[in-house]
Amino acid sequence: MTLDQLEQVNRTILLDVIDPDSDNLYSILANTHGEGYETNNPITDAPIQRIFNKLLVKNFEDFLNKFKPGVYARFAEPTQENIKIEFEVEKPKEKAGKIFLSKESGFLKELIELIELRQKGSSHNTSFYRHATDMGHLIMGHPPLDEFYQMRRNVRVLFNKFYPVFSQHHEDEAVLKKELDHELAKLTTWLKSPLDYLHLIITDIETQQKGSQLEKLHIPLNEKSSLHILKSPIVHMSVPALGDDAERAFLHYVTEYYQHECIPTEIIERAFHPVNSQTLLDELRQQYAKSIKQYIRITTPIVEKILGVYAFFKHHTKADMKPELLVCNSHINDIAETHYLEKLKTQLTTINTTSPYTNAIWFAIIPNVDNPNKQTSPVHVKPREHYKPVSCDALNTLLTTLKEKNILTFFSFMPSSRNTFTFLNRSESTADECLRHYEDFCEDIDKNNRSMAIPCFPNITVLPVDKSSINVKNHTINLEGIYIGSAFLAAGLFATYQCPRYMKERLLDNPAYLEEMFTLDQPGSGIDFCDHKIAQYLTTDFAKEITGYSPSTEDILKENAFGLVLDSKHNFISIYHANTLEKKPIKATHLGFYIKRLCLAEKVNTLDFIEKQRKAEADNKQLQNKIILYPQEDYEVLFPEDNGDEQ
């Protein structure tokens, strides 16, 4: 009996929200009628397929394309003194542009490059380009200005042609207006966010102060500007003006055109009418830096989850049976509500209890579980802005449902500087207190749920808090660090290890006894990560952060046998040990429900199957060391309880 009967054994569900404006599991299920949901019976294929089309992703690029995560930015209502930009995660009622988090540019790109830089050099906790003179344009991914300058000049040239025939009922008026509006529309696709406007205006002034000439559309105005700070000399343009009336008409035309974009008039004027004002430059630099800081803080929780998905898929390229991720796109506190939970149960009943388990979910990820909130706890930190931690009650509720459907759940705690390798390894007392407080927190988890629950720690550090200062327009911004929840990495590793060919190739250049432990027709369900001879060869692609735990810390970790602990002893992060909340190896539970589903798919009795495999092991010396399906006599396989669902 082989893996062929199951097709896949590594599909994973992420119980968290990525983009509130995208579809989520509940919104899809709530719009499904007459297909099984009203009676909680197994549902038809049509709604299942809709869910997979919308929420199932096969790689990191697929994930970004389907959910298009980002934040909305808009100019706030104008005040008497200055300009302010506001950011929101959910789409506001007011007109706002969305700043997408892209792998090709901006904040996310810089962080991924930082991870890959460390991966190549194995350097510890690389700083975030602290030497860079200005990180603003890297964080925001502003497009190059050269193209905009040319488009701005085209607009001016077209208006010079359009103005003489404006309101004259001239035969060329409609044609010229169409061409002018077309150029202005192109500019709106370039200036995608309020920060793009500020960047443009600041760059215009800086260019002039360096003695460089813009190409140049500086329109002399006799009338005072609407911004009180703009009482400054106007830089004369190299193109002759048509006269004050024409210049005022030009600014009136472009501000009217952009009115629907909710961009303040004074910003539009400065975008099309650059000035050389030190007062304006100082104010806009300050506002730009403040906005960058606000942008980073509101996007950090999203970015950390995106990087978590990046970590989940990071090793899949070498696998035949590539992991897939079903993203609920709802916060777990909402999922735990009765009306949502019933829909989720119906969904899981359909796909997880019917052989051959083609669409079955095997693993679950729950990040950002609330840290112990005792002030005396060593891992207690002030809640970070814009974070919504998972409550223990919600976690417990979901664990009950997931256990019923035989899903192994990896969960990790809130990201902070106190849930890292460095902090855990700081001293013997710190390690002891950290473990004790994590265990105290998990005491509230129902004992019936512990066999399938896996607390993961420490989290991965992408950007340490003490090395995350950046310079933006001569203003220093101190970030709060960037971290990846260890549950993402752990679930990604276990999902990838279920591909037999990946395991075989990973061990080709390693000791022969390791290679012989794996077969090409069975997944890595029985890997014992407490065996450090194995774990050191099954590393991740994330560079180590410390040079291993101290002997005292290792003693505490071994003694507690708590959860899934990541290790930083080798060149790359690996698994130190992997236990459930029952403090039993994950392999015992995982192998149990893998064998049960395999037997159900083949309609074979589970106990008969085990007896047959052990007999084969006894008769064939070549099978004696296999760890996949042929456990030693003292090896405990924990079979899931028969709740009558699976068939």
Q: Rounded CA gap, 391 and 365, in Å?
A: 15
Q: With a threshold of 0.85, does the pTM exceed it? A: yes
Q: How large is the C-alpha radius of gyration of the chain?
A: 29
pLDDT of residue 146: 83
Nearest to 204 by CA among 131, 252, 128, 267: 267
Distance, in Å, from the CA atom of 5 to the CA atom of 17, rounded to the nearest integer, reads 33
CA 43 to chain centre: 31
Which parts of the chain sit beneath pLDDT 50? 1, 34-37, 39, 122, 130-131, 215-242, 621-635
Residue 174 CB coordination number (10 Å): 11
Q: What residues does each domain of the chain span? A: 3-17+328-592, 76-299
Beta strands (DSSP E) in 570-635 are 574-578
Instruction: With CA atoms as reference, report the closest residue to 274 among 327, 237, 317.
Output: 237
Other C-beta atoms closer than 10 Å to the C-beta of 625 total: 13
Rounded Cα–Cα distance for residues 138 and 153 (Å): 26
Query: Distances from the Cα of 4 to the Cαs of 356, 424, 520, 571, 602, in angstroms?
Result: 10, 42, 11, 35, 11
Cα separation, 536 vs 544, in Å, equals 12
Dihedral pair phi/psi, residue 601, rounded to 5°: -65, -35
**Mind listing the pLDDT tens digit for each residue in 381-399?**
666 778 888 988 999 999 9
Write the DSSP assignment of 344-396 as a string of letters. HHHHHHHHHSSTT-TT---EEEEEEEPPP--TT-TT--PPPTT--PBPHHHHH
Diameter over CA atoms, the chain: 100
Other beta carbons less than 10 A from residue 33's beta carbon: 9
User: Which residues are paired to 334 by β-bridges?
Assistant: none
CB 544 within 8 A of CB 568: yes
The span from the CA of 299 to the CA of 281, in Å, is: 26
Give the contacts of 95 (CB within 8 A, at least 6 positions apart): 74, 260, 261, 262
In this predicted structure, what is the pLDDT of residue 562?
A: 92
